[in-house]
Amino acid sequence: MKFNKRTILVLCFILFCTSFLIKHPVQSTGTGPTKSVHVHNVIFMIPDGFSASYASNYRIFKGSEDTRLDPLLVGMMKTRSANNLVTDSAAAATAMATGYKTNNDMISISPEGKPLETILEAAKKAGKATGLVATSTVTHATPAAFAAHVTSRESKAEVALQMVEKVDVLLGGGKRYFLPRSAGGLQKERHLIEELQLKGYSFIKNRDELLKLDAVTNQFFGLFAEGPMSPELDRDVTEQPSLAEMTTAAITALSQHDGGFFLMVEGSQIDWAGHANDAAWAMKDIEAFEQAVGVALDFAEKDESTLVVVVGDHDTGGMSAGGYDEYAAKADILRDVKASGKYMAKQLNSKRSNAKEVLKTYANIELTKEEAKRIKKADDENLVYVINNIISERACIGWTTKVHTGVDVPLYAYGPASEWFRGSLDNTDVPKWMAKAMDIPFLSRLGH
């Protein structure tokens, strides 16, 4: 057989490309599995409001080149909702729980009003144990989206009613949503805590009870505050457990289940710190979240069949790493801050004449006359922001807003199937790949 010059050139090109691809295989960019995996458990961890600028400032705050998250960075995630370029937590959590976008304010309901199956519900149907952990109320937008379906995120009593049938371990704040009005709660008639106890659930009231929990207990609720739990900065004056302690308890209980488990852990108050422009609060709650991530990673490393996925739902506050002082970033000084701006504001006397003493005691800051004057002149509504802005200025951290922004957020993953999350993903992609990794039916239909 004779070959002309063009045929020979084409064959040479094909041989070259084949050789190159063998030596340099194309990497997955979130478009599908490249090999079979076995994922028995998924731990999905959400630092609410966390973006790349928070990661940068936290690295400076920690005084370390790397955090536990840095080596796990695999991609970035887009955050928009169905009806807005800037999402709220309800729509963001719905996307990450159901694989569908919805409108801001809606919880696992389509824009047309149809219930959307969640990854937690799908895991439960597939025979897996389930858990939700948060430092907000457990009925707040993010945990709610994994186990409830309501048209408004404010329907927290209804969220509690829907949650109790689906979750084996539930830890966080929000006790009042599980109690009847006769007991000071927000349920019309039902006493959900008593109902759960009758079904065999243990009820945990404080940190000591959580730490003493019998190792064989695998179904329990821990509601550690009537409303939200305390910021990490102020937790030492409470009887509340840390996020890491709650994560440890949840994993210990859920891992007893032979069928595997799905667990969502939220560092809820990073977002609230961003709304308050409270840089120290944000850093301390990120530190608490990193410790919880460490608990999950330690378990996953030993287990070898657990996928850990970490991603914020959106950015809050438009934080900068550096500002006010050219080429300076000083988030490390926030290690000296011992209380939230809200707590410090409560320590001021009626004339605010003790501002210098309060800021020195709780933030290790010597106020200038101008800064003390700013605090004294602030109206009640803006007092906390003035305190927080003074501290942020000292740390060279800027804020562009008190609400959310629409920037992409970093995505981290560890364990089998972690490579599936590489590249630029939409928030709706995340639960799809988690379900694929666990090999459970999901996204088969709208509604139930």
Could you report the per-residue pLDDT of 161-212, keeping only the tens digit for each?
A: 999 879 999 999 999 999 999 999 999 989 999 999 999 999 999 999 999 9
Same domain, 118 and 260: yes
Active-site pick, 51, 81, 89, 230: 89
Same domain, 346 and 247: no
Residue 133's CATH number: 3.40.720.10
Burial class (CB in 10 A: 0-12, 13-18, 19+), 64: exposed
pLDDT digits (tens, 9 = 90+) for 296-313: 999 999 999 999 999 999
Q: Is the pLDDT assigned to residue 18 strictly greater than 60?
A: no
Same domain, 308 and 387: no
- Whether 446 is in a domain gets the answer no
Which of 394, 411, 428 corresponds to the end of one domain?
394
- Whether 251 is in a domain gets the answer yes
Same domain, 233 and 336: no
Residues of the chain with pLDDT > 70, as a percent, come to 91
Return left, alpha or beta for 245; rule: phi > 0 is left, psi -120 to 50 is alpha, else beta: alpha
Same domain, 410 and 371: no
Which two tokens mark 9?
A: 């050139």
Same domain, 338 and 239: no
pLDDT digits (tens, 9 = 90+) for 351-385: 999 999 999 999 999 999 999 999 999 999 999 99
Same domain, 271 and 377: no
- pLDDT band (50, 70, 90) for residue 335: very high
Contacts of 349 (CB under 8 A, 6+ apart): none
CA dist list (Å): 188 to 182, 191, 192: 8, 9, 11
Euclidean distance between CA atoms 172 and 242, whole angstroms: 10
- pLDDT band (50, 70, 90) for residue 215: confident
**Could you give the number of structural domains in the chain?**
2
Same domain, 202 and 54: yes
Report the DSSP pairing between strands 220-223 and 169-173.
parallel
Euclidean distance between CA atoms 155 and 218, whole angstroms: 28
Quote the pTM value: 0.91
Domain carrying residue 390? 331-394
Same domain, 212 and 341: no
Identify whether 89 is a catalytic site residue: yes
Same domain, 207 and 337: no
